Structure 1
Amino acid sequence: MHVGPPYTSQQCSECGHIDRRNRQSQATFACRSCGAFMHADDNASHNIGRKGESVWTAGRESRVPATP
């Protein structure tokens, strides 16, 4: 399973707001929308984890119609 990393370091793991200015430095993340403040790597890891869970769940869902 592959999760694409684009924008995971710019997206707020609390509210979902994406802005390149959220990533203030290599180590600091501060959301310009909700004010969440945390280490940038922690924020990105939460976003990657959430994306991975979505991909995993989508892969487990059957695409075959149920038969009565």
Structure 2
Amino acid sequence: MFDAATTALLRAVLDEVCESVSHREIGALTNVASKILEAATRGEVSLDELRQAGRDALSRAPTVWR
């Protein structure tokens, strides 16, 4: 899996990208987290790459999630 520093970065990006998403919107949060993890697994581990992956996932989420 990922080392502690990368895991902390992933969590920070998820929190930042989803700051305006209600914690009750589990589907949206899960979708964004999944896309961030997929990006990291592909080697996209810079802050900007992870943010973009999360923002892309959030922007493509069904409107009920936003």
Task: Tell me the TM-score normalised to structure 2 length.
Answer: 0.34
RCO greater where, 1 or 2, for CA within 8 Å and sep 6 or more? 2
Structure with max Cα Rg: 1
If the length of structure 1 is used for normalisation, what is the TM-score? 0.33
